[in-house]
């Protein structure tokens, strides 16, 4: 079943998925090419082996082995001719996978961090074998086939008067304004071009001032030394990391859609607006054969745009109407006021500001890091207050799908009087997977606040810790002579 829409361009390529040959078009990311081939489940959750896929919400869904390298992000990796891609967290092999039997284990049995259980106490003869089994299961992926050859990609240091992070419309406007004031501007963006989402959404934009210096394909992931030093990592692991300094830093990173706290929201086929737009507009791939669009205000505009791009949208509604997402291995329907069959659910909201950089730039405290008013200025939607997330009603929700942490597991801790999010994190591993708590700690906070009946912001979110897998070991090693220790 192909989801490719008419009007696609790019040279045909072939690659393999779990040993099976598939076709792609040059310019597709691996995750996009797999979806175009009708393959939605790309990864398994750590413990219960639930399938996950391309969503833009959870990183775990797009991690797979590519040409002998584990944990490659398939949404950031373009298909190359002959590329070999395979699913992780399987044994003995992805096509005949006995670990899938984990899905038969009652969900109440699989909880806590992998390590915590009184089943096999240490000190006994069995323990080392038990631990080796846990380590094998938790490890998910075989280590890299080969060692890193050659010297690390050397990092570089860049300085500007104004540093703008994020090249959406607000970032471009802020950069243009600063350039017109005669200031030296550096614009850094994760994407390969400016304002790609806005363009995909059909917006017309003013061009970038030619005096703005651009650094594309680089994710700024960390703020150090009270925000005076920022680090960015190129998406391409062969390029060196960058250390950035500026007199003024403007955050224009926009908002990230957060998953709705209903059962089944982790299923392959659920995705955010950006992922859906990139598929339909850039790659001419439909998110599904019949698509439901939900949001907290932007849903109709998004649905119109997707329809214009040839996607069949079967229902548009407020996200608050969503009660559950139905399916076993992928989305089959959504329960709104009525049951709506579909094979993809696109979320246009609500969106939260990614607080990582401003938190790190301002955090202090000797017992716990607490964020304060940050010196980093915010522009565009980043500057607006976050919407309140609706508390979850159903204990069957997965707060952290990667580690299979359910609302029920958190309820058990709350009943014991454990209500500090930092402690819940340590006891459940919630948010300790590849996303590092983004979005899971927002989900956890909304869930616990709902249960305790307190305002969401009254609860301190667990500390946001970079680099959140933005940086490889080799890229970090390349920073050795770039940033001096404090003397």
Site for another protein in 133-192 (CB under 8 A): 134-136, 138-144, 146-149, 152
Residue closest to 243 by CA, chosen among 258, 232, 254, 257: 232
At 13, give phi and psi (nearest 5°).
-130, 160
CA pseudo-torsion sign 412, 417, 423, 425: positive
Nearer to another protein, 9 or 416 (CB): 416
Assess 104 for contact with another protein (CB under 8 A).
no
Integer Cα distance of 314 and 291 in angstroms: 6
**Residue 231: CB minimum distance to another protein, A:** 7
**Residue 55: CB minimum distance to another protein, A:** 18
Residues 237-296 that bind another protein (CB under 8 A): 237, 243
Cis amide bond preceding 350, omega within 30: yes
How is residue 4 annotated by DSSP?
Answer: B
With CB under 8 A as the contact rule, the residue among 97, 99, 131, 214 that binds another protein is 131
**Residue 12: CB minimum distance to another protein, A:** 29
The window from 22-30, 36-44, 132-140, 303-311 that contacts another protein (CB under 8 A) reads 132-140
Nearer to another protein, 115 or 411 (CB): 115
Integer Cα distance of 350 and 334 in angstroms: 18
Nearer to another protein, 51 or 155 (CB): 155
Assess 414 for contact with another protein (CB under 8 A).
no
Residue located via tokens 């207050």: 385
Residues 373-412 that bind another protein (CB under 8 A): none
**Residue 254: CB minimum distance to another protein, A:** 23
Residues 341-380 that bind another protein (CB under 8 A): 360, 363-369
Residue closest to 421 by CA, chosen among 435, 410, 412: 410
Assess 71 for contact with another protein (CB under 8 A).
yes
- Over its C-alpha atoms, the chain yields an Rg (Å, rounded) of 22
Cis amide bond preceding 310, omega within 30: no
The window from 27-35, 279-287, 302-310, 473-481 that contacts another protein (CB under 8 A) reads 473-481
Written as one string, the DSSP assignment of 153-221 is: PPPEEEEEEEEEE--SHHHHHHHHHHHHTT--EEEEESSSSTTHHHHHTT---PPPPTTSEEEESEEEE
Residues 105-124 that bind another protein (CB under 8 A): 113-124
**Residue 123: CB minimum distance to another protein, A:** 5
**Residue 451: CB minimum distance to another protein, A:** 16
């Amino acid at each position: 079943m192909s989801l490719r829409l008419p009007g696609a361009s790019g040279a045909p390529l072939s690659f393999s998925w779990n040993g099976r040959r598939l076709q792609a078009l040059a310019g597709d990311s691996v995750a996009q090419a797999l979806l175009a081939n009708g393959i939605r489940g790309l990864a398994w959750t750590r413990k219960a082996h639930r399938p996950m896929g391309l969503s833009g919400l959870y990183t775990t869904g797009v991690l797979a082995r590519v040409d002998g390298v584990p944990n490659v992000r398939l949404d950031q990796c373009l298909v190359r001719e002959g590329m070999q891609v395979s699913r992780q967290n399987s044994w003995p092999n992805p096509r005949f996978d006995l670990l899938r039997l984990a899905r038969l284990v009652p969900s109440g049995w699989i909880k806590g961090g992998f390590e915590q259980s009184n089943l096999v106490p240490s000190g006994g003869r069995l323990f080392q074998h038990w631990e080796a089994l846990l380590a094998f299961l938790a490890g998910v992926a075989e280590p890299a086939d080969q060692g890193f050859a050659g010297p690390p990609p050397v990092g570089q240091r860049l300085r500007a008067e104004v540093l703008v992070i994020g090249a959406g419309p607000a970032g471009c406007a802020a950069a243009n304004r600063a350039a017109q004031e005669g200031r030296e501007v550096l614009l850094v963006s994760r994407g390969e071009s400016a304002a790609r989402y806005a363009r995909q959404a059909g917006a017309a934009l003013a061009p970038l001032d030619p005096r703005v210096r651009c650094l594309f394909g680089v994710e700024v992931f960390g703020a150090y030394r009270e925000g005076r030093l920022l680090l960015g990592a190129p998406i391409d692991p062969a390029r060196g990391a960058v250390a950035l300094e500026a007199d003024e830093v403007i955050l224009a990173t926009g908002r990230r859609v957060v998953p709705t706290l209903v059962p089944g929201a982790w299923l392959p086929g659920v995705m955010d607006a950006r992922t859906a737009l990139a598929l339909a507009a850039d790659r001419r791939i439909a998110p599904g054969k019949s698509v439901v669009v939900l949001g907290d205000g932007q849903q109709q505009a998004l649905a119109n745009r997707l329809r214009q791009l040839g996607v069949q949208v079967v229902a548009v509604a407020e996200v608050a109407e969503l009660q559950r997402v139905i399916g076993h291995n992928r989305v089959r329907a959504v329960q709104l006021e009525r049951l709506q069959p579909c094979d993809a659910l696109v979320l246009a909201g609500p969106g939260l500001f990614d607080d990582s950089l401003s938190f790190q730039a301002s955090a202090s405290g000797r017992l716990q890091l607490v964020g304060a008013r940050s010196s980093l200025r915010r522009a565009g939607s980043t500057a607006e207050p976050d919407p309140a997330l609706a508390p979850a009603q159903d204990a069957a929700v997965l707060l952290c799908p990667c580690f299979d942490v359910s609302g029920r597991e958190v309820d058990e801790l709350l009943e014991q009087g454990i209500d500090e999010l930092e402690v819940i994190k340590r006891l459940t591993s919630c948010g300790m997977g590849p996303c590092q708590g983004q979005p899971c700690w927002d989900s956890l906070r909304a869930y616990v606040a709902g249960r305790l009946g307190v305002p969401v912001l009254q609860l301190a979110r667990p500390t946001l810790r970079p680099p959140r897998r933005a940086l490889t070991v080799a890229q970090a090693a390349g920073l050795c002579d770039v940033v001096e220790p404090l003397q």
